[in-house]
């Protein structure tokens, strides 16, 4: 027997064994299924599909005879339906289904009590009348007769007070008539029934904007935009409200200016020779005294290129005038001196990389200021603040601050914690590659200092060894 024939025979046997196992499994499943069905049917009670009080149709075929406008009488004679007066299947208006059902129900009066039937009929009648009045209101609204639409919506609300749509529809009619207070009240009623009604929020926002309640209108329109972010009309109304709020704020700023009102003051010195001052003074470099002893700045244009004449008087000047003359002389002498602004220092630890960069720029590269700033930042918070955004330029500056100031103040443990937590930041290996030779030399100086004072500060030498590997020095 060839190898190919042997392989075919072996495959056929394997297939036969597989099919046999499959048939055995199928028979076991069927047997288990029958056993389960017997147990369920024998022990458990299966309720009927329909209610036990369901109406039972008598064996005689019930047909409906046509008299005049509809079918009013039940009959068991099928021949009357098949006569010449048979109603066509498409003629829906000719069918009176309600009367037909009443006739069928009359044969089994025990199925429902007269009281419950009367209540359900009244409720059904109210619902139908409410819908009818609503449709009438919609029709009048489309025709532009908003007053009649309001009357119809009001009747519908009386018939169905639980509907959240009806007051919102009436609110729109009120808006068309510029009755914004009534529109706001109706929208509020609709929102109380359905807080996520977009139309109610939108229309109440419009009404409040017309009533001058800009902030409340903004809140309603923003809520409507959140519920329906693709509605361009709501966004346009919200933009108009925001514009009106800005214009109102601008008008208030113009009415109540915060700038101080300046006025010209004459400076007169008594008791010395006449002095002519013909220099341009800056506003922040000269001050004058008012009668009540307070000071105020003098603008540059007020004293520029004009002479201040000081008459000579043999009499002793009053003390207040002597003080004035001294101020003028000091101001003239200090014109050529540069104005030194105080350095900005950060007093609070940053919570994000944005705040760190803002504070870092305000320090303007001052090593002493950076040293004070780093001391208020807990090294354990580096990962939360910097995440993966700390660049090598910041690390380089921190290294020099550690060498120049931490070493000077003998802050060995603080310097060690700073280096350890910087090395734990994401992308630190990449930043370490960009450190210059000067940066690495400063690192060697720091690590040598830490080794020298390890015993005094209880520093583990293994920590220093790990830092050498991390910073590759």
How is the chain split into domains, by residue range? 126-250, 264-337, 353-471
Q: How far apart are CA 99 and CA 114, in angstroms?
A: 16
Burial (CB < 10 A; 0-12, 13-18, 19+), residue 214, is middle
What would the pLDDT profile of 420-464 be if each residue is shown by its tens digit?
A: 888 888 888 887 888 888 988 998 999 898 888 888 888 888 888
Architecture of domain 126-250: Alpha Horseshoe (1.25)
Q: Identify whether the C-beta of residue 132 lies closer than 8 Å to the C-beta of residue 153.
A: no
The pLDDT value given to residue 432 = 82
List Cβ neighbours of 331 (8 Å cut-off, separation of 6 or more).
Answer: 281, 285, 286, 287
The pLDDT value given to residue 3 = 80
The pLDDT value given to residue 161 = 86
Greatest alpha-carbon pair distance for the chain in Å reads 149
For residue 277, report the phi and psi dihedrals to the nearest 5 degrees.
-110, 115
Give bridge partners of residue 412 from the DSSP assignment: none
The pLDDT value given to residue 344 = 43
The pLDDT value given to residue 204 = 94
Q: Which residues of the chain have pLDDT under 70?
A: 1, 40-90, 92-93, 107-124, 253-266, 268-347
Q: How far apart are CA 150 and CA 28, in angstroms?
A: 73
Q: How far apart are CA 412 and CA 416, in angstroms?
A: 6
Q: Identify whether the C-beta of residue 12 lies closer than 8 Å to the C-beta of residue 18.
A: no
Q: How far apart are CA 219 and CA 205, in angstroms?
A: 8
Q: Identify whether the C-beta of residue 270 lies closer than 8 Å to the C-beta of residue 313.
A: yes
Q: How far apart are CA 325 and CA 273, in angstroms?
A: 12
The pLDDT value given to residue 173 = 92
Q: Kindly report the pTM of this predicted structure.
A: 0.33
Q: How far apart are CA 325 and CA 331, in angstroms?
A: 10
């Amino acid at each position: 027997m060839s190898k190919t024939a042997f392989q075919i025979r072996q495959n056929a046997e394997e297939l036969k064994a597989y099919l046999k196992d499959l048939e055995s499994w199928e028979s076991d499943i069927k047997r288990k299924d029958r056993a389960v069905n017997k147990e369920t049917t024998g022990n458990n009670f299966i309720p009927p599909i329909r209610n036990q009080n369901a109406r039972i149709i008598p064996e005689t075929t019930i047909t409906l005879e046509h008299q005049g406008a509809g079918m009013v009488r039940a009959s068991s004679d099928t021949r009357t339906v098949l006569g010449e007066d048979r109603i066509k299947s498409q003629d829906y208006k000719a069918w009176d289904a309600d009367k037909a059902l009443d006739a069928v129900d009359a044969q089994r009066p025990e199925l429902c009590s007269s009281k419950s039937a009367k209540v359900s009929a009244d409720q059904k009648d109210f619902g139908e009348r409410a819908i009818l009045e609503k449709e009438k209101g919609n029709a009048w609204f489309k025709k532009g007769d908003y007053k009649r639409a309001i009357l119809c919506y009001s009747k519908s609300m009386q018939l169905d007070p639980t509907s959240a749509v009806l007051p919102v529809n009436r609110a729109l009619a009120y808006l068309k008539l510029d009755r914004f207070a009534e529109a706001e009240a109706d929208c509020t009623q609709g929102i109380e029934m359905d807080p996520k009604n977009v139309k109610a929020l939108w229309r109440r926002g419009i009404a409040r904007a017309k009533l001058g309640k800009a902030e409340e209108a903004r809140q309603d329109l923003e809520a409507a935009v959140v519920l329906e972010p693709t509605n361009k009309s709501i966004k346009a109304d919200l933009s108009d409200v925001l514009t009106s709020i800005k214009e109102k704020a601008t008008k208030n700023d113009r009415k109540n200016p915060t700038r101080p009102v300046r006025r010209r003051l004459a400076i007169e010195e008594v008791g010395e020779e006449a002095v002519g001052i013909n220099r341009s003074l800056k506003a922040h470099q000269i001050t004058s005294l008012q009668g009540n002893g307070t000071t105020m700045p003098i603008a540059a244009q007020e004293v520029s290129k004009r002479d201040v004449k000081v008459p000579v008087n043999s009499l002793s000047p009053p003390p207040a005038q002597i003080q004035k003359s001294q101020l003028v002389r000091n101001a003239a002498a200090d014109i050529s001196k540069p104005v030194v602004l105080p350095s900005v220092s950060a007093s609070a630890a940053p919570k994000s990389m944005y705040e760190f960069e803002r504070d870092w720029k305000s320090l303007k590269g001052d090593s002493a200021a950076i040293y004070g700033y780093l001391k208020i930042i807990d090294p354990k918070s580096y990962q939360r603040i910097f995440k993966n955004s700390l660049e090598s330029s910041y690390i380089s500056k921190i290294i020099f601050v550690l060498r120049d100031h931490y070493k000077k103040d003998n802050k060995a443990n603080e310097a060690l914690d700073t280096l350890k937590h910087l090395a734990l930041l994401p992308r630190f290996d990449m930043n370490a590659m960009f450190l210059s030779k000067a940066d690495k030399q400063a690192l060697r100086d720091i690590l040598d200092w830490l080794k020298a004072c390890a015993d005094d500060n209880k520093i583990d030498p293994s920590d220093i060894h790990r830092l050498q590997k991390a910073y590759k020095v």
